[in-house]
């Protein structure tokens, strides 16, 4: 049994943090599902920018719309939904077999809306309707404005992948938004079964504090934050408040480990995947990391939900790291980075439209 299958048997979902038309056309994604136990997929503006910029796979679809009055942004969402719908169809059997717990794909609202709650809600509802896909998450950033939008979208019945979370506090705030949305649905007599995941970014912590810590703490902060978050999430979903919603049919907002590709060349390329093995969680990993783990990954003891990481995080505080301040900075920088990628993506589509205009 290969390592990816072992991780799947442990109870953790393996999702691919990538999508390209070539992955679909070549049958590679289908093979990953069949051979590597991949049960879901995530995307973001950077992934689509690279897919469209570095191939001609989208040229025919762009050429078809080149002379129309469809905006560059609307054209992007048409391209993305076309790809994600195909991927979602491949994952639909596992989605159905897991009663909707697994087998999801994700589409992000425009990062330009990260600080616009009303705009995010309107976009999320429109994209959800446009895709008409039962296993598509709408990705919304966990910014203060995003949290308002998340509650409203959950109440409206839109499945949400909360992105750009960096700390336990931010993740619990996302959980609160989810719970409020579900509680409002229950109070209104609506179905409580609206899914959500909370995407906690891991490796960016270690990049941010590189060369600021003693060697024994190097590349350990992201994992410690994940351990603390896992511990606190287990407590939340054992509470009386949650049990009441569970009886009504609600499912926990699953923890999703994001940014699990190694950034430090001196670190084992499967280090984050191995450290974050935990039942009832998701790890979305870059293709390179997925293949590395399948080839030489080692599955040790799973993360212990009873292991409070507060003592380990205290070591980082003692070394001069302000966890809360850094988490806020990482979220703000992440939002800015996604906004930059968005401008590059839309600019790429605009240029291709001009280049591909029919004679």
pLDDT digits (tens, 9 = 90+) for 263-278: 998 899 999 999 999 9
Report CA dihedral (338, 341, 347, 352) to the nearest 10 degrees: -130
Task: Please tell me the pTM assigned to this model.
Answer: 0.96
Residues in the chain: 359
DSSP letter (8 states) at residue 197 = E
- Give the residue numbers annotated as catalytic, written as ranges: 139
Range of lowest pLDDT (83-87, 102-106, 180-184, 304-308): 304-308
pLDDT number for residue 67: 87
C-alpha distance across the termini of the chain, in Å: 55
Q: 140, 109 in Cβ contact below 8 A?
A: yes
Residues 227-239 have pLDDT tens digits of 999 999 999 999 9
Pairing of strands 254-258, 281-285: parallel
Could you give the C-alpha distances from 210 to 219, 270, 271, 296, 317, in angstroms and in order? 8, 19, 16, 26, 15
- Rg from Cα positions in the chain: 20
For the chain, the structural domain boundaries read: 3-354
pLDDT number for residue 243: 96
Residues 3-354, CATH architecture: Alpha-Beta Barrel (3.20)
């Amino acid at each position: 049994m290969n390592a990816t299958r072992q991780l799947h048997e442990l109870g953790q979902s393996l999702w691919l943090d990538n999508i390209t038309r070539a992955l679909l056309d070549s049958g590679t994604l289908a093979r990953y599902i069949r051979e590597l136990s991949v049960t879901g997929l995530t995307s973001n503006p950077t992934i689509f920018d690279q897919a469209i910029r570095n191939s001609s796979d989208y040229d025919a679809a762009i050429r078809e719309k080149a002379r129309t009055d469809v905006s560059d942004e609307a054209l992007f969402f048409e391209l993305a939904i076309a790809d994600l719908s195909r991927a979602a169809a491949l994952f639909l059997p596992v989605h159905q077999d897991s009663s909707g717990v697994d087998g999801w794909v994700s589409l992000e609202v425009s990062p330009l809306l990260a600080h616009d709650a009303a705009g995010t809600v309107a976009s999320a509802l429109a994209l959800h309707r446009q895709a008409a896909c039962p296993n598509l998450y709408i990705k919304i950033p966990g910014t203060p404005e995003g949290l308002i939008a998340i509650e409203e979208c959950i109440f409206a019945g839109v499945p949400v992948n909360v992105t750009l979370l960096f700390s336990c506090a931010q993740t619990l705030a996302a959980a609160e938004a989810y719970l409020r949305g579900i509680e409002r649905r229950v109070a209104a007599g609506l179905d409580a079964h609206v899914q959500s995941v909370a995407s906690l970014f891991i490796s960016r912590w270690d990049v941010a504090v590189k060369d600021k810590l003693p060697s024994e703490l190097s590349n350990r902060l992201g994992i410690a934050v994940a351990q603390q978050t896992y511990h606190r999430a287990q407590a939340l979903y054992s509470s009386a408040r949650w049990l009441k919603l569970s009886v009504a049919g609600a499912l926990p907002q699953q923890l999703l480990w994001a940014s699990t590709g190694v950034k430090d060349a001196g670190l084992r390329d499967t280090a984050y995947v191995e450290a974050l093995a935990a039942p009832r969680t998701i790890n979305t990993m870059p293709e390179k990391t997925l293949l590395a783990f399948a080839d030489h990954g080692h599955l040790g003891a799973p993360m212990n939900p009873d292991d409070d990481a507060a003592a380990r995080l205290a070591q980082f505080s003692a070394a001069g790291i302000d966890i809360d301040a850094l988490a806020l900075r990482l979220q703000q920088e992440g939002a800015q980075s996604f906004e930059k990628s968005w401008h590059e993506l839309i600019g790429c589509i605009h240029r291709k439209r001009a280049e591909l205009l029919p004679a």
